[in-house]
Structure 1
Amino acid sequence: MKFYYSLVPALIGVSIAFVQPQNALALDSSEVAKVAKAITVEIENHDGSGSGIIIKREGNTYTVLTAKHVVEAQAQYEIVTPEGTHYSLNYSTVKKLPSVDLAVVQFTSNQNYPVAKIGNSDLSTEGTTAYVAGFPQISAAISSSIYNFTDGRITANASKPLRDGYALVYSNETLAGMSGGPVLNDKGEVIGIHGRSDTTENFKISDKNPNVIIKTGFNLGIPINTFLKLSAQTGVDVGVSSPSTSIATVPKADDFFIQGGDKYHKGDYKGAIADYNQAIKINPNYADAYYKLGLAHRDSGDNQKAVEDLQKATELFAVQGKKADAKRSQGVIRYLLKDYKGAITASTEAIRLNPNDAQAYNIRGTARYYLGDKQGAIADFNFVLKINPNFAPAYSNRGLARYDLGDKQGAIADHNLALKINPNYAFAYYNRGLAHYELGDKQGAIADYNLALKINPNIAPAYVNRGLARYDLGDKQGAIADFNLALKINPNFVEAYYSRGIVRYKLGDKQGAIADYNLALKINPNFVEAYSDRGLAHYELGDKQGAIADFNLALKINPNYAKAYAGRGLTRYALEDKKGGIADLQKAANLFQEQGDTDSYQTLMELIKKL
Structure 2
Amino acid sequence: MQKQVIASLIGIGIATSIRSIDPIRVLALSPTANTTDKIVFIKTQSGQGSGVIIKHVGETYTVLTAAHVVNDLKNAPLEIITPDRQEYTANASEVKIAPDALDLATITFQSQQHYLVAELGDSNTIDKGQPIFAAGFQGKSLKFYPGTVVAISHQSQDRGYGLAIGTAEILPGMSGGGLFSQTGTLIGINGKSIGTIDTANQHHRQNRVKPVSGLAIPINTFTQIASQLNVDLGDNLPLPISSAITADDFFITAGNKSQKGDYHGAIADYDRVLVMNPHFGEVYFRRGIAHSLLKNWQGAEADYTRAIEIEPGYAEAYLHRGNMRNILRNWHGAKSDFDAAIALDPNILSAYVGRGISRCESNDCQGGINDFDRVISRDRSAADAYLHRGFAYHRLGAIRATIDNYTTAADLYRQQGKDREYLETVQKIKKLVRG
Please indicate, yes or no, whether the TM-score normalized by the shorter chain is above 0.5. Answer: yes
Q: How many residues align?
A: 397
Secondary structure (helix, strand or coil) at the match of 1:416 reads helix
Structure with higher RCO (Cα < 8 A, 6+ apart): 2
Matches within 5 A, 1:40-55: 40-45=39-44, 48-55=47-54
Residue 180 (structure 2) pairs with residue 184 (structure 1) = yes
Matches within 5 A, 1:535-546: none
Offset at residue 307 of structure 1 (A): 2.8
Q: Give a deviation string over 1:52-89, Cα, whole Å, max 9, x none.
A: 11101111211111111222232332222222222232
Tell me the equivalent position of 1:127.
129
Higher mean displacement: 372-381 or 66-75: 372-381
8 Å Cα contact 1:369-1:401 kept in structure 2:
no
Taking structure 2 as the reference length, what is the TM-score of the superposition?
A: 0.77
8 Å Cα contact 1:214-1:359 kept in structure 2:
no
8 Å Cα contact 1:134-1:179 kept in structure 2:
yes
Q: 1:301 to 1:40 in 2, by over 3 A?
A: closer
Tell me the equivalent position of 1:413.
411
Structure 2 counterpart of 1:316, one-letter code: I
Q: Give a deviation string over 1:332-362, Cα, whole Å, max 9, x none.
A: 5654664445534543443454454455455
Q: Give a deviation string over 1:393-421, Cα, whole Å, max 9, x none.
A: x6456435435523443343344345x25
Give distance in 2, aligned partners of 1:327 and 1:62. 46
Give distance in 1, aligned partners of 2:132 and 2:361. 35
Residue 37 (structure 2) pairs with residue 35 (structure 1) = no
Residue 165 (structure 2) pairs with residue 166 (structure 1) = no
Q: 1:247 to 1:292 in 2, by over 3 A?
A: same
Give distance in 2, aligned partners of 1:106 and 1:385. 39
Give distance in 2, aligned partners of 1:330 and 1:301. 13
Structure 2 counterpart of 1:84, one-letter code: R
Offset at residue 385 of structure 1 (A): 5.8
Tell me the equivalent position of 1:156.
151
Secondary structure (helix, strand or coil) at the match of 2:141 reads coil
Identical residues among aligned pairs (%): 32
Higher mean displacement: 64-73 or 182-191: 64-73
Q: 1:53 to 1:311 in 2, by over 3 A?
A: same
Tell me the equivalent position of 1:296.
290
Tell me which structure has the larger Cα radius of gyration: 1
8 Å Cα contact 1:368-1:376 kept in structure 2:
no
Q: Give a deviation string over 1:480-520, Cα, whole Å, max 9, x none.
A: xxxxxxxxxxxxxxxxxxxxxxxxxxxxxxxxxxxxxxxxx
Q: 1:364 to 1:57 in 2, by over 3 A?
A: farther
Matches within 5 A, 1:199-238: 201-203=197-199, 217-238=212-233
8 Å Cα contact 1:54-1:116 kept in structure 2:
yes
Q: 1:165 to 1:334 in 2, by over 3 A?
A: same
Offset at residue 191 of structure 1 (A): 0.7
* One of 230, 247, 257 as aligned partner of 1:253: 247
8 Å Cα contact 2:97-2:229 kept in structure 1:
no
Tell me the equivalent position of 1:79.
80
Offset at residue 329 of structure 1 (A): 5.4
Q: Give a deviation string over 1:345-394, Cα, whole Å, max 9, x none.
A: 543443454454455455445435544355345446548967xx7xxxx6
8 Å Cα contact 1:411-1:435 kept in structure 2:
no
* One of 396, 399, 405 as aligned partner of 2:387: 399
Structure 2 counterpart of 1:249, one-letter code: A
Tell me the equivalent position of 1:584.
none
Residue 315 (structure 2) pairs with residue 324 (structure 1) = yes
Give distance in 2, aligned partners of 1:266 and 1:202. 17
Q: 1:198 to 1:292 in 2, by over 3 A?
A: closer
* One of 297, 300, 306 as aligned partner of 1:306: 300
Higher mean displacement: 366-375 or 152-161: 366-375
Taking structure 1 as the reference length, what is the TM-score of the superposition?
A: 0.57
8 Å Cα contact 2:170-2:191 kept in structure 1:
no
Secondary structure (helix, strand or coil) at the match of 2:42 reads strand
Tell me the equivalent position of 2:13.
none
Higher mean displacement: 427-436 or 228-237: 427-436
Give distance in 2, aligned partners of 1:236 and 1:269. 38
Unaligned runs of 5+ in 2: 7-25, 395-401
Tell me the equivalent position of 2:94.
93
Structure 2 counterpart of 1:85, one-letter code: Q
Q: 1:62 to 1:265 in 2, by over 3 A?
A: closer
Q: 1:301 to 1:63 in 2, by over 3 A?
A: closer
Residue 261 (structure 2) pairs with residue 270 (structure 1) = no
Give distance in 1, aligned partners of 2:3 and 2:431. 9
Give distance in 1, aligned partners of 2:377 and 2:255. 26
Q: 1:149 to 1:253 in 2, by over 3 A?
A: same
Q: 1:28 to 1:87 in 2, by over 3 A?
A: closer
Secondary structure (helix, strand or coil) at the match of 1:217 reads strand
Structure 1 counterpart of 2:247, one-letter code: A
Unaligned runs of 5+ in 1: 7-26, 138-144, 441-596, 598-611
Give distance in 2, aligned partners of 1:28 and 1:4. 43
Secondary structure (helix, strand or coil) at the match of 1:41 reads strand
Secondary structure (helix, strand or coil) at the match of 2:311 reads helix
Q: 1:50 to 1:366 in 2, by over 3 A?
A: farther
Higher share in helix? 1
Give distance in 1, aligned partners of 2:81 and 2:150. 31
Give distance in 2, aligned partners of 1:334 and 1:384. 25
Q: CA RMSD in A?
A: 3.6
Structure 1 counterpart of 2:390, one-letter code: R
Q: 1:41 to 1:369 in 2, by over 3 A?
A: farther
